[in-house]
């Protein structure tokens, strides 16, 4: 069985890791948001792709919530000493990956190629596909003006009030190599419990992707990022409130209307106002067993709506 997952960073990587303990990893494809990508100090930064790589390689620092485990910080210390920007942290090991990615780009390699290279270097059998090799930049319209994603998320810690989200360059972007095939050829498609507006919408903004998902023969199941009307982490709930949306699973189902065939929600949550099939499990993923349970429940719901 081939499973394709649309995913952002942390929340999505948890689900993909759960899948790898249920299925042979070479049957799993993650289509990853690149709208948060940026260039920092000349280095190409792809936060969600790197979160997937580090998570599947068992190198993700879960406590910190980003970057590699066992990281050292000599580079940042030297950078600060020289008066360089300290707001965006790059650990020494992380820096190595970023320098290699820059070198690959300088040779003319694409983001897909360099991502596949890192996946091989980490010994990963799952396929990690950037949504596009073309630049798409998630832009946040706020009460303080337009901010790029990293300015909003890291620089301002999501403090400004959000008025809207747009994806600069999306109209010219092409789906990354293998992306449309991974959707059309999947037996099951999952939308990870990533932020629907900031992590999944950029993927859907790539021309052709939304239509491919709507036309996919496989059942499409989303896992809700909300538990008891709150986000597990990050700005999802704050953003929904600022967009005037009720903090409910119905809002998540509405957001994906026409694209998903079922929604997995937390055991304690109601399904009021949701007209597609719903399944429940404890969706908070702390342990590997939790990740397995949520991935298994999403696949079960996919199986149920497929029959």
Residues lying near ligand GDP in the complex (CB under 6 A): 8-12, 14, 48, 51, 193-195, 199, 223-225, 227, 231-234, 236, 283-285
Q: Are 34 and 7 in contact (CB under 8 A)?
A: no
Shortest spacing between CB 196 and ligand GDP, in angstroms: 8
Shortest spacing between CB 199 and ligand GDP, in angstroms: 3
The residue with its CB nearest to ligand GDP is: 11
Nearest to 62 by CA among 279, 289, 287: 287
- The pairing of beta strand 262-266 with beta strand 220-223: parallel
Query: Residue 58 or residue 123: which is nearer to ligand GDP going by CB?
Result: 58
Phi/psi region, residue 9 (left: phi>0; alpha: psi -120 to 50; beta: rest), is alpha
CA angle 193, 119, 32 (to 5 degrees): 30
Query: Residue 170 or residue 215: which is nearer to ligand GDP going by CB?
Result: 170
Shortest spacing between CB 108 and ligand GDP, in angstroms: 28
Shortest spacing between CB 236 and ligand GDP, in angstroms: 3
Query: Residue 231 or residue 263: which is nearer to ligand GDP going by CB?
Result: 231
Distances (CA, A) of 296 to 7, 190, 193, 283: 17, 11, 14, 11
- CA atoms of 24 and 8, how far apart (whole Å): 22
Shortest spacing between CB 192 and ligand GDP, in angstroms: 6
Shortest spacing between CB 83 and ligand GDP, in angstroms: 29
Query: Residue 16 or residue 119: which is nearer to ligand GDP going by CB?
Result: 16
Query: Residue 150 or residue 195: which is nearer to ligand GDP going by CB?
Result: 195
Q: Are 186 and 31 in contact (CB under 8 A)?
A: no
* Extended strands (E) in 169-268: 188-191, 220-223, 226-227, 230-231, 262-266
Query: Residue 52 or residue 104: which is nearer to ligand GDP going by CB?
Result: 52
CA angle 71, 118, 103 (to 5 degrees): 90
């Amino acid at each position: 069985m081939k499973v394709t997952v649309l995913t952002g960073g942390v929340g999505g990587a948890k689900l993909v890791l759960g899948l790898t303990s249920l299925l042979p990893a070479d049957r799993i494809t993650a289509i990853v948001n690149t709208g948060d990508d940026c260039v920092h100090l000349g280095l190409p930064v792809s936060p969600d792709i790197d979160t997937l790589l580090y998570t599947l390689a068992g190198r993700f620092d879960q406590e910190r919530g980003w970057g590699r485990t066992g990281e050292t910080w000599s580079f940042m210390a030297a950078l600060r000493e020289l008066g360089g920007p300290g707001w965006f942290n790059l650990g020494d090991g992380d820096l190595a990956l970023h320098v290699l990615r820059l070198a690959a780009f300088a040779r003319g390699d694409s983001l897909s190629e360099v991502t596949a290279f890192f996946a091989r270097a980490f010994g990963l059998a799952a396929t990690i596909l950037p949504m596009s090799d073309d630049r798409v930049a998630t832009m946040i319209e706020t009460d303080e003006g337009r901010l790029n994603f990293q300015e909003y998320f890291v620089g301002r810690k999501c403090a400004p009030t959000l008025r809207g989200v747009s994806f600069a360059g999306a109209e010219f972007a092409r789906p990354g190599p293998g992306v449309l095939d991974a959707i059309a050829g999947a037996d099951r498609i999952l939308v990870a419990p990533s932020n629907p507006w900031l992590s999944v919408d950029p993927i859907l903004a790539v021309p052709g992707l939304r239509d491919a998902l709507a036309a996919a023969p496989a059942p499409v199941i989303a896992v809700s990022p909300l538990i008891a009307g709150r986000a597990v982490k990050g700005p999802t709930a704050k953003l929904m409130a600022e967009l005037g949306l009720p903090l409910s699973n119905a809002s998540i189902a509405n957001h994906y209307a026409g694209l998903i065939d079922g929604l997995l929600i937390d055991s304690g949550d109601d399904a009021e106002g949701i007209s597609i099939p719903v399944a429940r499990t404890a969706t908070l993923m702390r342990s590997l067993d939790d990740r397995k349970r949520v991935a298994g429940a999403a696949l079960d719901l996919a199986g149920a709506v497929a029959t």
